[in-house]
């Protein structure tokens, strides 16, 4: 038997096919839809791979044209799909987006019920892939999909912790998937077991009842040791046993905000891998700012472009 490869990161979750109305149009009026793929954990995986890390993605994917497109896209960005199961007779989840300026903003509609990924559980997914990675990533979207996905999320984090592997949980609350009460009940123990928790100030308030944007209060609420709290246009704050800090936001002209949080999470993951959380946060901010400048869910930047954003220190003209 050929030995399994080792990875820096294993990400677990669902990928959807994104069907987007062109900018300036609506789903009702559009004559065509742009087709891309998107999914929080896979977005993080792509960003990490593009920044030079070895990454694998674990999921279940329908053996249909959309499922094959998902696999092809991830492989194109050097994300390993060896842990992925292709499922005959299943379907690939879809989501539809339209975007516009204020006051419309971004609108998302999901069509993902009974997707192949919703069938993930400890019985249908090979949890031993956790042993091949230095770090395991789970977001709050995966346990929201089904009871089986919630059990799988807990199992992979427990297995990683038991073997001394680092873990990152991105809260990533989605109101269209579950209630705040259910999310709090499931996510609190997952966060308590994580090496690092990533959370927005809005999710801290809505899910965990932390009204003040203070990462230490979030840490207390979920019994976590290290919390990274994103505060929108203000910036990012964090607390850890090594200390706390704040990093101001990078000025950005936004063309598509979907996926920017995943690009930021990838930077945090790199900081955890390298033992330098503040640097990872700053990398994540630069990656998120680049992700916002292009359409689609994936971070399509390069390490050189990230370095240039950080070197510019807020300047937008680098001629």
pLDDT tens-digit readout, 65-76: 999 999 999 999
pLDDT of residue 254: 77
* Range(s) of the domain holding residue 294: 7-312
Tokens representing 271? 């900081």
The catalytic residues are 262
Q: What's the number of domains the chain is made of? A: 1
User: Does residue 202 belong to any structural domain of this protein?
Assistant: yes
User: Does residue 319 belong to any structural domain of this protein?
Assistant: no
User: Does residue 36 belong to any structural domain of this protein?
Assistant: yes
User: Does residue 145 belong to any structural domain of this protein?
Assistant: yes
Number of H helices, E strands in the chain: 10, 14
Asked if the model's pLDDT at residue 13 lies above 90, the reply is yes
Q: What is the DSSP letter of 28?
A: T
- Please give the Cα distance from 169 to 172 (Å, whole number): 9
Q: What's the pLDDT band for 255 if we cut at 50, 70, 90?
A: confident
Q: Distances from the Cα of 24 to the Cαs of 84, 103, 156, 167, 179, in angstroms? A: 36, 13, 42, 40, 32
Residues 6+ apart with CB under 8 A from 273: 8, 9, 53, 134, 135, 166
**What percent of the chain clears pLDDT 90, i.e. is strictly above it?**
84
User: Does residue 105 belong to any structural domain of this protein?
Assistant: yes
pLDDT digits (tens, 9 = 90+) for 19-58: 999 887 899 999 999 999 999 999 999 999 999 999 999 9
User: Does residue 2 belong to any structural domain of this protein?
Assistant: no
Phi, psi for 141 (deg, rounded to 5): -75, -40
Asked if the model's pLDDT at residue 306 lies above 60, the reply is yes
CB 132 within 8 A of CB 10: yes
Q: What's the pLDDT band for 258 if we cut at 50, 70, 90?
A: confident
CB 269 within 8 A of CB 165: no
Tokens representing 161? 């912790």
Q: What is the DSSP letter of 119?
A: G
- Please give the Cα distance from 109 to 295 (Å, whole number): 18
pTM over 0.85: yes
Q: Strands, E, within 14-158: which ranges?
A: 16-20, 34-38, 55-58, 60-62, 85-87, 94-99, 106-111, 133-139
pLDDT digits (tens, 9 = 90+) for 209-245: 999 999 999 999 999 999 999 998 899 999 999 999 9
- Please give the Cα distance from 212 to 195 (Å, whole number): 23
For residue 175, what is the domain's CATH number? 3.40.1190.20
pLDDT digits (tens, 9 = 90+) for 100-111: 767 777 788 899
User: Does residue 77 belong to any structural domain of this protein?
Assistant: yes
Q: Distances from the Cα of 131 to the Cαs of 140, 150, 227, in angstroms? A: 22, 20, 25
Residues 6+ apart with CB under 8 A from 276: none
């Amino acid at each position: 038997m050929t030995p399994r490869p080792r990875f820096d990161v294993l990400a677990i979750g669902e990928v959807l096919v994104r069907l987007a109305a062109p900018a300036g149009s609506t789903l009702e009026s559009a004559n065509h839809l742009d087709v891309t793929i998107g999914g929080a954990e896979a977005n993080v995986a792509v960003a990490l791979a593009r920044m030079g890390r070895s990454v694998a993605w674990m999921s279940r994917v329908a053996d249909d044209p959309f499922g094959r497109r998902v696999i092809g896209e991830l492989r194109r960005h050097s994300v390993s799909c060896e842990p992925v199961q292709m499922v005959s007779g299943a379907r690939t989840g879809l989501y539809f987006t339209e975007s516009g300026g204020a006051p419309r903003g971004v609108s998302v509609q999901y069509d993902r019920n009974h997707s192949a990924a919703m069938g993930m559980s400890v019985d249908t997914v090979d949890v031993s892939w956790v042993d091949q990675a230095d770090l395991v990533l789970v977001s709050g979207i995966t346990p929201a999909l089904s009871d089986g996905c919630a059990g799988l999320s807990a199992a992979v984090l427990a297995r990683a912790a038991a073997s001394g592997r680092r873990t990152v949980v991105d809260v990533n609350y989605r109101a269209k998937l579950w209630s705040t009460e259910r999310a709090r009940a499931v996510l609190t123990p997952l966060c308590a077991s994580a090496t690092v928790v990533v959370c927005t100030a809005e999710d801290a308030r809505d899910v965990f009842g932390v009204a003040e944007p203070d990462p230490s209060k979030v840490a207390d609420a979920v019994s976590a040791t290290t919390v990274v709290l994103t505060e929108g246009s203000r910036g990012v704050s964090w607390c850890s046993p090594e200390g706390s800090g704040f990093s101001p936001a990078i000025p950005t002209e936004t063309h598509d905000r979907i996926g920017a949080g995943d690009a930021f999470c990838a930077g945090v993951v790199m900081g955890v891998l390298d033992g330098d959380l503040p640097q990872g946060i700053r990398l994540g901010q630069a990656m998120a700012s680049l992700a916002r400048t292009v359409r689609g869910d994936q971070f399509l930047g390069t390490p050189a472009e990230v370095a240039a954003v950080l070197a510019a220190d807020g300047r937008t003209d680098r001629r």
